[in-house]
Amino acid sequence: MTTINIPWAAWHGDEQIPLAFPASWDVTEARMQDAPALSDQAIGDRLRTSIAAVPLAQLAQGRQNAVIVVEDITRPTPLYRLLPPLLAELEAAGIPRGRIRILIGSASHRPNTRTDMVKKLGQAVVDTVEVRNHHPYENLVSLGMSDRGTPIFINRDFVEADLKIAIGTIVPHEDAGFGGGAKVVGIGLASVETLAVIHGRTVAEGPVGLGRLEGNFCRSDFEDIALRAGLEMTINVVINSQRDIAGVFAGHPVEAHRAAAVLARQVYATELPPEVDVGVFNAYPKDTELMLGFNALNPGYRIGEQLIQPDGTVVVTMAAPEGYGYHSINSRQGFVYGPDLAWQRRLVVYSPNLTPADIQRFCPAGTLLFKDWSSLIQMLEAQYPGQARAVVLPHGAIQLGGGEHKA
Find residue 163's DSSP bridge partners.
66
Residue 207 pLDDT class (50, 70, 90 cuts): confident
Tell me how far CA of residue 348 lies from CA of 122, 199, 304, 381, in angstroms: 36, 27, 15, 14
Residue 1 has a pLDDT of 83
**Of 267, 289, 310, which residue sits at a domain end?**
267
CA distance 287 to 323: 10
Q: What CATH number is associated with residue 11?
A: 3.90.226.30
| Span 211-267, pLDDT tens digits | 999 999 999 999 999 999 999 999 999 999 999 999 999 999 999 999 999 999 999
The answer on 215 and 133 residing in a single domain is: yes
- For CA atoms 209, 213, 216, 220, the dihedral sign is positive
The answer on 175 and 58 residing in a single domain is: yes
- For residue 401, is it within any domain? no
| Span 36-95, pLDDT tens digits | 999 999 999 999 999 999 999 999 999 999 999 999 999 999 999 999 999 999 999 999
In the predicted structure, residue 331 carries a pLDDT above the cut 90: no
Q: What secondary structure does DSSP assign to 49-61, as a single string?
A: SEESS--HHHHTT
Residue 201 has a pLDDT of 85
The answer on 109 and 86 residing in a single domain is: yes
- What mean pLDDT do residues 321-342 have? 78
Contact 234, 165 (CB under 8 A): yes
- For residue 402, is it within any domain? no
- For CA atoms 355, 281, 341, 174, the dihedral sign is positive
The answer on 186 and 81 residing in a single domain is: yes
CA distance 51 to 66: 20
CA distance 266 to 264: 5
Q: What CATH number is associated with residue 258?
A: 3.40.50.11440
3-state secondary structure of 251: strand
The answer on 208 and 104 residing in a single domain is: yes
Contact 283, 397 (CB under 8 A): yes
Q: pTM to 2 decimals?
A: 0.96
| Span 118-132, pLDDT tens digits | 999 999 999 999 999
Residue 399 pLDDT class (50, 70, 90 cuts): very high
